[in-house]
């Protein structure tokens, strides 16, 4: 009896009903819509997907009269003004479902649109009243919305950063340039359609950087301050898939590499809402808008800095990952650095084009953020702590 693990575990299901993997999205979508009985589709897509590929035109043809609206006016970090405008458009079109085609900004925008429509919140001030609060122990994000969900999302992801797996939406407030923070009831897509051929049309560099963002999520799950055995199992498998297959994508890659990377996002997403994540996950939300840097580029640098910061602290977690990766004797941060160099991804704040003054200006917002200084195995609580970990992200 003495060997029984008495730790209490909490696992969070996030509202997904179906996942379709290794399929053609254009061929699968009509059946998915029929499965749920949807008749009036409003599509939200990235501008590049709309203007640089034939996918949206193919989607128009397959949807026919069910397509009641479309916008590609999303923008980096999905500004609130774009969210509110698109929510009004979907409402006025009497849409009964949103279909997202794109990466994190597109899916984040759809989640926030869902919140607008459910709460009848079509003005900035009203929407901002609905930001999440933390659980009493500071480990879980809780919604403040109490309206019944009025509309759902079906996601067709074109990147690898796992936004499709959470009900969390963090669009940027145009006025303050700060991230708004929402947990949307039933905000996770009702269905996800993973199309490897569509993924192959995404620019290689964007695939690399969003893949690293997904990898960072998986590492944060495996190295959480409060791990969960099921979430850790999935995260460790995801880390292996990312490490093995991201270099193959850079080299052009066969279809299998793309399907394996989409599996990695699936494994990562299944666990990431059940454990608290640390510094690198949340500091991206400061570096991105304050530095004018893409989230996924910032994730490359912050993931590496966090691995260095946790050296000697996350000992069993790093050891398991090193063994799984077949490199038991190397520091975990050295393994990650080698991957980033191989992918031609940034490894330092210098590589992101940031100045010391810009990073200094991020210290106070980071300290004021509800999550940056919480749930870190090696504490990050003070200005000195923040400066110490960020010092590990500058070029030597």
Mean pLDDT (whole number) for 97-122: 97
Among the listed residues 345, 235, 262, the one whose alpha carbon sits nearest the alpha carbon of residue 299: 345
Look over the chain and give the mean of its residue pLDDT values, rounded to a whole number.
95
Among the listed residues 220, 224, 107, the one whose alpha carbon sits nearest the alpha carbon of residue 154: 107
Report how far residue 219's alpha carbon sits from residue 341's, in angstroms, rounded to the nearest whole number.
18
What pLDDT does 250 receive?
86
What pLDDT does 177 receive?
84
Report how far residue 188's alpha carbon sits from residue 248's, in angstroms, rounded to the nearest whole number.
29
Please say whether the beta carbons of 59 and 101 come within 8 A: yes
Report how far residue 357's alpha carbon sits from residue 221's, in angstroms, rounded to the nearest whole number.
32
Question: 71 - beta bridge partners?
Answer: 44
Collapsed DSSP state (helix, strand, coil) of residue 215: helix
Mean pLDDT (whole number) for 325-352: 98
Residue 177 or residue 144, greater confidence: 144
Helices 295-309, 279-291: axis angle to 10 degrees equals 140
Distance of CA 225 to the CA centre of its chain: 20
Per-residue burial over 6-41, b = 16 or more CB atoms within 10 Å of its CB, e = otherwise: eeeeeebebbbeebbeebebbebbeebbeeeebebb
What pLDDT does 9 receive?
80
Q: Which string of DSSP letters, residue by residue, matches 69-129?
A: EEE----TT--HHHHHHHHHHHHHTT-SEEEEEESHHHHHHHHHHHHHHHHT--SHHHHHT
Let me know how long the chain is: 396
Q: What is the pLDDT of residues 117-142, one digit of tens each?
A: 999 999 999 999 999 998 888 888 89
Report how far residue 209's alpha carbon sits from residue 289's, in angstroms, rounded to the nearest whole number.
17
169 Cβ neighbours under 8 A, 6+ residues apart:
78, 108, 109, 111, 112, 115, 180, 182, 184, 187
Q: What is the pLDDT of residues 33-84, one digit of tens each?
A: 999 999 999 999 999 999 999 999 999 999 999 999 999 999 888 999 999 9
Say yes or no to pLDDT of 2 above 80.
no
374 Cβ neighbours under 8 A, 6+ residues apart:
138, 139, 276
Say yes or no to pLDDT of 4 above 60.
no
What pLDDT does 7 receive?
66
Report how far residue 341's alpha carbon sits from residue 152's, in angstroms, rounded to the nearest whole number.
40
Which domains does the chain show, CATH number per domain?
18-199 (3.40.50.1970), 204-391 (1.20.1090.10)
Share of the chain above pLDDT 90, in %: 89
Residue 5: pLDDT band (50, 70, 90) is low
Mean pLDDT (whole number) for 280-284: 96
Mean pLDDT (whole number) for 167-195: 94
> What sign does the dihedral 295-184-157-339 (CA atoms) show?
positive
């Amino acid at each position: 009896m003495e060997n029984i693990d008495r730790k209490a575990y909490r696992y969070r299901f996030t509202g997904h009903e179906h996942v379709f993997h290794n399929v053609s999205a254009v061929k699968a979508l009509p059946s998915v819509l029929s499965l749920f009985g949807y008749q009036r589709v409003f599509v939200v897509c990235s501008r590049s997907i709309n203007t640089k590929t034939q996918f949206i035109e193919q989607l128009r043809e397959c949807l026919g009269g069910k397509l009641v609206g479309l916008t590609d006016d999303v923008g980096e970090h999905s500004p609130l003004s774009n969210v509110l405008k698109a929510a009004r458009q979907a409402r006025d079109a009497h849409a009964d479902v949103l279909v997202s085609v794109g990466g994190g900004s597109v899916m984040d925008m759809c989640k926030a649109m869902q919140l607008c429509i459910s709460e009848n919140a079509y003005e900035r001030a009203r929407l901002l009243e609905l930001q999440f609060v933390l659980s009493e122990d500071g480990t879980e994000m809780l919604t403040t919305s109490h309206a019944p969900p009025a509309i759902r999302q079906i996601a067709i992801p074109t990147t690898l950063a796992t936004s499709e797996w959470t009900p969390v939406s963090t669009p940027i407030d145009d006025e303050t340039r700060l991230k708004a923070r929402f947990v949307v009831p039933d905000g996770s897509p009702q269905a996800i359609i993973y199309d490897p051929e569509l993924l192959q049309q995404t620019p290689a560099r964007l695939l690399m950087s969003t893949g690293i963002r997904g990898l960072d999520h998986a590492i944060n799950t495996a190295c959480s301050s409060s791990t969960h055995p099921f979430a850790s199992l999935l995260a460790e498998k995801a880390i292996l898939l990312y490490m093995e297959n991201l270099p193959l994508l850079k080299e052009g890659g066969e279809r299998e590499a793309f399907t394996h990377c989409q599996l990695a996002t699936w494994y990562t997403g299944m666990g990431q809402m059940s454990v608290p994540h640390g510094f690198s996950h949340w500091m991206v939300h400061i570096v991105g808008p304050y530095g004018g840097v893409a989230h996924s580029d910032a994730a490359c640098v912050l993931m590496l800095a966090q691995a260095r910061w946790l050296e000697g602290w996350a000992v069993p977690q790093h050891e398991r990952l090193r063994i799984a990766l077949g490199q038991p004797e190397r520091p975990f941060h050295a393994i990650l650095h080698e991957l980033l160099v191989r992918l031609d991804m940034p490894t330092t704040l210098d590589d992101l084009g940031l100045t010391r003054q810009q990073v200094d200006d991020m210290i106070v917002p980071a300290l004021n953020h509800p999550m940056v200084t919480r749930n870190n195995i090696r504490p990050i609580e003070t200005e000195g702590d923040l400066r110490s970990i960020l010092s590990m992200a500058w070029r030597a």
